[in-house]
Chain A
Amino acid sequence: MINKTVKDAEEATADIKSNAVLMLGGFGLCGIPENSIKALLKKDISGLTCISNNAGVDDFGIGLMLQKKMVKKMISSYVGENAEFERQLLSGELEVELIPQGTLAERTRAGGAGIPAFFTPAGVGTEVAEGKEMREFDGKLYILESWLKADFSLVKAWKGDTAGNLIYKGTARNFNPMMAAAGAITIAEVEELVPAGELDPNQIHTPGIYVQRIFQGKDYEKRIEKRTVRE
């Protein structure tokens, strides 16, 4: 079996350079590639385009990359929890493309699956549809949306093996599987890295073919945005 293992996040992200297009998995702070983001923060790079459902919070996740002014453009569906983001957006330092969440998920899936474009009803009659091709199917209007791909996809899984196969936990799966497939180089970090053969092939979510590099993550903070408990 092909061994995809690299030593750590620094080695995995060593060739990510300025102006790269990145995809980063996660929904809110759930399932984000914490180790890879920390490694990027140590690098002297800028002008990144980041495709991610959200933009982290001020002091965690992509929010830290914004603080360091590493990001030129965000492509996201919701960016509401980040004051530095707002400041950079209003001052014109940061470019933002907002995409309906399902369209973002499907454009990413399409990128990994070799589908250049597809029609979706999301956004018909709204500013999202402006300038886009429309077509009617069975009496309803749809918008043509194109695939998204990345130079590097940074994903996070619960368990992985040396062949790059991944298993996610809970709602930390979210955008990670589609992003894994849509990256020219996909870097997976996992909470538990095991030898090939130890994961049950029936239970694997992301086949290792999509993963170029995998490493054992460390010091996971797994921060909770809104801790809500039963009274």
Chain B
Amino acid sequence: MLSKIQIAQRIAKEIKNGQYINLGIGIPTLVANYIPDDLDVVLQSENGLLGIGPFPTEDNVDADLINAGKQTISMVDGSVLFSSAESFGMIRGGHVHLTILGAMEVSENGDIANWKIPGKMVKGMGGAMDLVASAENIIVAMQHCSKDGKSKLLKNCSLPITGINCVKKIVTDLAYLKVLPEGGFKLVERAPGVSVEEIRSKTEGRLVVEGDIPEMDL
């Protein structure tokens, strides 16, 4: 089984040179720490920044410079600041190449649910619906099962939907899977020490297994 950091490390390997990337809150934020040094990529923060840098040193904390998770941040050289309208314009316009975000559920046709649990306080969707409606490539980082052991890779989402037919890849603590255009989770890699049978038993949606499934190389 992968730790959260290992999930982030595996997702970082999917990043390509020259990409503009939006990272969601949680495990996706950790991905920034594992982007290979030889890649030139730019991280977008939907509150109005291209070029997120590391967290600031104590002396450089600036209340006027935060990420979408409201954490204080720094900027890299070549950064640019803009309004929320411009920010979502570049998201909807398809200029942000890759969105990495967390999820509560993903269905076998690529629907994602990650904003609302009936009966619990609704905090809001923030920018998630705009991001999933527009990004050409969406990778979900999540645990394979919920805390009470239920599969989060489903035939149909049971929770309120954030976006439809949008998730392309999923990295969980157990596996790396691709969502097939015709529907279904194609198993691409197993987490070290995890069997295909375990993944099958913990995937409620249609799991497609073809040939030998290699272990992840982290």
Chain A positions within 8 Å of B, measured between CB atoms, are 27-31, 53, 76-80, 86, 89-90, 98, 100-106, 108-109, 120-128, 158, 168-178, 205, 222-230
B81 touches A125 (CB 8 A): no
- Identify B70's interface contact among A122, A222, A225, CB under 8 A: A225
Which of B57-65, B177-185, B204-212 binds A?
B57-65
How does the 8 Å CB contact mask read for B121-149 relative to A, with 1 for contact and 0 for none?
11111111110011000000000000000
Q: How far is the CA of A56 from the CA of B19 in the complex (A)?
A: 33
B85 touches A100 (CB 8 A): no
Q: How far is the CA of A8 from the CA of B55 in the complex (A)?
A: 36
Specify which chain B residues have a CB less than 8 angstroms from the CB of A228 in the assembled complex: 55-56, 71-73
B46 contacts the other chain (CB 8 A): yes
Interface members, chain B 51-107 (any A CB < 8 Å): 54-58, 61-73, 81-85, 87-89, 91-92
- Identify A122's interface contact among B71, B85, B92, CB under 8 A: B92
Specify which chain A residues have a CB less than 8 angstroms from the CB of B65 in the assembled complex: 170-171
B163 touches A174 (CB 8 A): no
Considering only CB atoms, which chain A residue lies closest to B68 in the complex?
A27
Considering only CB atoms, which chain A residue lies closest to B74 in the complex?
A230
Q: How far is the CA of A128 from the CA of B88 in the complex (A)?
A: 17
B127 touches A222 (CB 8 A): no
Q: What does DSSP make chain B's interface, helix, strand, loop or mixed?
A: loop
Specify which chain A residues have a CB less than 8 angstroms from the CB of B85 in the assembled complex: 105-106, 108-109, 177-178
B27 contacts the other chain (CB 8 A): no
B6 contacts the other chain (CB 8 A): no
Chain B positions within 8 Å of A, measured between CB atoms, are 45-49, 54-58, 61-73, 81-85, 87-89, 91-92, 111, 121-130, 133-134, 160-165
B46 touches A101 (CB 8 A): yes
A30 touches B160 (CB 8 A): no
- Identify B123's interface contact among A80, A108, A177, CB under 8 A: A80
Q: How far is the CA of A187 from the CA of B146 in the complex (A)?
A: 47
- Identify B84's interface contact among A27, A90, A126, A226, CB under 8 A: A27
Considering only CB atoms, which chain B residue lies closest to A140 in the complex?
B133
In the assembled complex, the CB of B81 is this many whole angstroms from the nearest CB of chain A, namely: 6
In the assembled complex, the CB of B191 is this many whole angstroms from the nearest CB of chain A, namely: 27
A53 touches B84 (CB 8 A): yes
In the assembled complex, the CB of B118 is this many whole angstroms from the nearest CB of chain A, namely: 11
B125 touches A100 (CB 8 A): yes
Q: How far is the CA of A128 from the CA of B116 in the complex (A)?
A: 12
A222 touches B129 (CB 8 A): no
Specify which chain A residues have a CB less than 8 angstroms from the CB of B54 in the assembled complex: 230
B126 touches A158 (CB 8 A): no
Q: How far is the CA of A122 from the CA of B124 in the complex (A)?
A: 14
Q: How far is the CA of A223 from the CA of B63 in the complex (A)?
A: 7
Specify which chain B residues have a CB less than 8 angstroms from the CB of A175 in the assembled complex: 83-84
Specify which chain B residues have a CB less than 8 angstroms from the CB of A101 in the assembled complex: 46, 84, 88, 125-127, 130
A76 touches B124 (CB 8 A): yes
A100 touches B81 (CB 8 A): no
- Identify B92's interface contact among A28, A121, A170, A172, CB under 8 A: A121
Specify which chain B residues have a CB less than 8 angstroms from the CB of A90 in the assembled complex: 121
A226 touches B62 (CB 8 A): no
Q: How far is the CA of A148 from the CA of B81 in the complex (A)?
A: 24
A158 touches B64 (CB 8 A): yes
Supplied contacts A30-B63, A171-B49, 16 more A-B pairs, CB within 8 Å:
A31-B64, A86-B121, A90-B121, A100-B126, A104-B84, A105-B87, A106-B88, A122-B130, A125-B165, A127-B160, A170-B64, A171-B65, A225-B66, A229-B56, A229-B57, A230-B54
Specify which chain A residues have a CB less than 8 angstroms from the CB of B55 in the assembled complex: 228-230
- Identify B125's interface contact among A30, A78, A158, CB under 8 A: A78
Q: How far is the CA of A120 from the CA of B93 in the complex (A)?
A: 10
Considering only CB atoms, which chain B residue lies closest to A121 in the complex?
B133
B133 touches A122 (CB 8 A): yes
In the assembled complex, the CB of A225 is this many whole angstroms from the nearest CB of chain B, namely: 4
